[in-house]
Amino acid sequence: MESGEYPPGSKLPSGTELCAEFAVSRQVVRSAVDWLKARGLVDGAPGAGVFVRERAGQ
Residue type, 2: E
6 close to 51: Cβ distance less than 8 angstroms? no
Residue type, 58: Q
> pTM value?
0.84
Tell me the per-residue pLDDT of 10-56, one tens digit each, with 9 for 90 and over: 999 999 999 999 999 999 999 999 999 999 999 998 889 999 999 86
Per-residue pLDDT, 58 = 54
Q: Is the dihedral of CA 15, 10, 47, 37 positive or negative?
A: positive
